Amino acid sequence: MTEIVNEQMEKEKHIRGLGAMILSRTLDKKIITAQRQGRVGFYTPTMGQEAAQVGLSMALDKDDLIYEYYRDVPMMLHRGVPIEIILNQVFGNRDDLAKGRQMPSHLVARDYNFMSVPSPVATNLPLAVGTAYAKVYRKEKGIVVASFGDGSTSTPDFHAAMNMAAVFNLPILFFCENNGWAISTPVEKQTKTEIWKKADAYGMVGMKADGNNLVEMYKTAQQAVEHVRSGKGPVLLEARCYRMGPHSTSDDPTKYQTDIVLDGSEKDPIVVSQNALKAIGLVNDQLIEKVRAESQRIVNEKFDQQEKIPPPDPETIFQDVYAKETWILREEREEIL
Amino acid sequence: MSNMNMVQALNSTLDMKMSKDDSIILLGEDIGKDGGVFRVTDGLQAKFGPERVIDTPLVELGIVGMAIGMAVYGMKPVPEIQFQDFIYTAMDQIINQMAKIRYRTGGKITVPLVLRTPYGGGIRGGLYHSQSGESYFVHTAGLTVVTPSNPYDARGLLSASLELGDPVIFLEPKRLYRAQKMEVPDNDYKVEIGKANLVHQGDSVTIVTYGSMVPTVASAVEKNGVDADVLDLRTLSPVDIDAISASVKKTGRVVIVHEAPRTLGMGAELSAMISERMIEYLYAPILRVTGPDTPFPYRLEEYYLPNEKRIMAAVNRVLEFR
Ligand SMILES: Cc1ncc(C[n+]2csc(CCOP(=O)(O)OP(=O)(O)O)c2C)c(N)n1
Ligand SMILES: [Mg+2]
């Protein structure tokens, strides 16, 4: 009996995963189009990385805490972050949790255990070490995930965090979303090794996953998460995926990239994952069509709705610099506003 | 003469200098095939090859350290940091190596390099694509700090920086990259390091500014018919104290304008220098118009950046002070 229940739960988990991927893709396309129309200032598309992120997310629990990076919208949607939170940040409007201060794509959702995004890449990784240490110290459940791109593995922050996590045997999953590019720099010019193999040099476990296939990704992610959760130390999990869009809306990849994976083509992780799920009889075209239509309806409706929200009050510029406003800030606020 | 914007001025200067001097090497993230995210190095890798225009891994500390290592061995590297906001992991290399090698070797080893980096706001870059961190560099003995405000100066200052023989932090106000086109000579002229430029003349007040604020101040002064000297510093370290003195002794009233936060910004040092040397000439307190002491906001950046209204309020306060 429990086996049947489990099986049913796993089925639903996969269907929900695919749903989050499709919702995220729909949102991505909407925001990119809106950016071209001047309705959004900037965006870093996430398309091509949906299966990698959602596959990992499916293996995580509610208590797990994530140091996300700027392309992690699919993971956020899958973990239940309302689309309004994402859109408010993209518009930098009055309801944005960070009061319109950050560029789009730099999301925070503390209530959903997403810890916020600084632009300088990999600077979150040493924080993951500290947070994981605190979690262990307090005997709390849950692991810490720190996600980042392939380019980010060249930084001193990556090295420091990997080394310390291994030395202190901490429950951290280092999640490298290897989309093959760091702006115009291909991963072959970034590093001479395969990324997952770097783990060995730090004395931790390294794993490689097919980040284009939701089913495969989930399986590998489960193993990685299980290792970290059981107290055996950190894991570096490298998911191979694609950057199907430009680096950002300010980037023109045709200057340096010839092999761009097109939306809906056979390498597209959504197509790959749909086919994998169809092959095991979990979804059919009819269901997929329904999910697509529903995603489009939600995205259009929420986009128009959140776009109408006015910008934050100018006073907010001076808030949250310190716990309490200093006399200097008060003077400056009075001069400027 | 060619009509060009600041990006083109910088690009053509690198091109010209590299053609003449094969010890000049460029290195940085995305500067080769992509031509830099602001296109300042566009076409240079195609022309000079990947050996001289190096696409590096994503590691500012490595880029700067590698450049220093080249410079101490007789090369003239021009490292690019994609945004000044990302320079901070390289600060150890900048402060403890770049700035101190001449001193710690009794002048036997020097670091002739030009570190280029875009800085400042005005492009909706939020917290991490808008910072004006000039004070960190100006505060560090051994660094020369330069910032152009127009295409002509960009070319002349870059050329002079490449011949200085010391490390130069070359701060490019990204908001002005494409803001203005002007006629720029094609020859290898120089704008002397350490010399300010009087961009507007008047007798009643001295406005000291630099970088991205120069056009803002100049247009405020012109629109409102202010009888002001406007000094574009062009070099932030060492500053042109003679030009400042000459103007302040004439006007006796000073306003300093910059985009960086007020506390310990350039304005603090300028104000101290002026009070120490010329207090007897002053008719009014020295006022600063600056960015506030907060991080740089995204959606509301127009409130952060000093504007005509704030500049005129300070100018009028200084002029009316009795
Ligand atoms: C320390 C630092 N240097 C430079 C940049 C500019 N930059 C933004 S994203 C990026 C490439 C990052 O590549 P990767 O880590 O592979 O992530 P991806 O964008 O491919 O998802 C660069 C160079 C930055 N954000 N931080
Ligand atoms: Mg990448």
User: Is B234 a member of any domain?
Assistant: yes
Instruction: Mark yes or no for CB contact B126/A102 under 8 Å.
Output: yes
Q: What percent of chain B has pLDDT over 70?
A: 100
Residues B175 and B202 in one domain: no
Looking at the structure, tell me whether residues B112 and B86 fall in a common domain.
yes
For A261, the token pair is 């994976």
Number of structural domains found in chain B: 2
CA distances from A14 to A5, A161, A216, A294, B223 (A): 14, 32, 11, 18, 64
Give per-residue pLDDT as tens, B84-141: 999 999 999 999 999 999 999 999 999 999 999 999 999 999 999 999 999 999 999 9
Distance from CA of B27 to the nearest CA of A (A): 13
Q: Which domain holds residue B261?
A: 197-320
**Chain B environment of A106 (Cβ under 8 Å):** 126-127
Q: How confident is the model at residue B70 (pLDDT cuts 50, 70, 90)?
A: very high
Contact A119 B129 (CB under 8 A): yes
Residues B179 and B238 in one domain: no
Residue ID of nearest Cα to ligand 1 atom 2: A120
> Is B298 part of a structural domain of the chain?
yes
Looking up residue B290, the CATH number of its domain turns out to be 3.40.50.920
Mean pLDDT of chain B: 98
Please tell me the distance between residue A20's alpha carbon and the centre of ligand 1 in angstroms.
25
Same domain, B240 and B97: no
Q: What's the whole-model pTM score?
A: 0.97
Beta strands of chain A (E only): which ranges? 65-67, 144-149, 172-178, 181-182, 185-186, 205-210, 235-240
In this complex, the residue of A103, A311, A314 whose CB is nearest that of residue B126 is A103
| Same domain, yes or no: B180 and B49 | yes
Q: Do A101 and B37 touch (CB under 8 A)?
A: no
Residue B125 with chain A: CB contacts under 8 Å? 103
| ipTM for the predicted complex | 0.96
B18 and B160 fall within a common domain: yes
Asked if residue B205 and residue B290 are part of one domain, the reply reads yes
pLDDT, position A2: 77
> Which residue from B minimizes the CA distance to A184?
B30
Ligand 1 atom showing the smallest separation from residue A183 Cα: 11
At residue A120, the pLDDT reads 98
**B255 pLDDT above the threshold of 90:** yes
Residue B169 belongs to a domain: yes
Q: Which of B184, B210, B230 is the last residue before a domain boundary?
A: B184
Residue B270: enclosing H or E segment and its boundaries?
helix B266-278
Ligand 1 contact via A150 beta carbon (within 6 Å): yes
Contacts of A105 (CB under 8 A, 6+ apart): A42, A43, A44, A70, A71, A73, A90, A117, A248
**Ligand of minimum distance to the alpha carbon of A68:** 1
Select from B184, B218, B252 the last residue of a domain: B184
CA distance B95 to chain A (A): 17
pLDDT in tens, chain A (337 residues): 678 888 899 999 999 999 999 999 999 999 999 999 999 999 999 999 999 999 999 999 999 999 999 999 999 999 999 999 999 999 999 999 999 999 999 999 999 999 999 999 999 999 999 999 999 999 999 999 999 999 999 999 999 999 999 999 999 999 999 999 999 999 999 999 999 999 999 999 999 999 999 999 999 999 999 999 999 999 999 999 999 999 999 999 999 999 999 999 999 999 999 999 999 999 999 999 999 999 999 999 999 999 999 999 999 999 999 999 999 999 999 999 9
Same domain, B221 and B295: yes
Residue A1's pLDDT is what? Answer: 63
CATH code of the domain covering residue B51: 3.40.50.970
B235 and B132 in one domain?
A: no
> B129, B139, B200, B258: which one is catalytic?
B129
Cβ(B228)–Cβ(B256) below 8 Å: no
CA B295 centroid distance within chain: 20
Ligand 1 atom 1 nearest Cα:
A120
Q: Do residues B201 and B177 both lie within one domain?
A: no
* Residue where one domain finishes, among candidates B141, B156, B184: B184
Closest residue of B to A94, CA-based?
B299
DSSP letter (8 states) at residue B199:
E
Same domain? B14 vs B125 = yes
Q: How confident is the model at residue B306 (pLDDT cuts 50, 70, 90)?
A: very high
- Ligand 1 touching residue B88 (CB < 6 A): no
In this predicted structure, what is the pLDDT of residue A269? 98
Contacts 24+ apart (CB under 8 A), B31-36: B31/B55, B31/B80, B32/A184, B33/A184, B33/A255, B33/A256, B34/A183, B34/A184, B34/A255, B34/A256, B35/A255, B36/B80, B36/B82
Q: Is the CB of A183 under 6 A from ligand 1?
A: yes
Distance CA B7, CA B178 (A): 7
Could you tell me if B158 and B233 lie in one domain?
no
pLDDT single digits (tens) A156-207: 999 999 999 999 999 999 999 999 999 999 999 999 999 999 999 999 999 9
Asked about B139 being catalytic, the answer comes back as no
Superfamily of domain A2-336: Thiamin diphosphate (ThDP)-binding fold, Pyr/PP domains (3.40.50.970)
Q: Position of tokens 């999910």?
A: A291
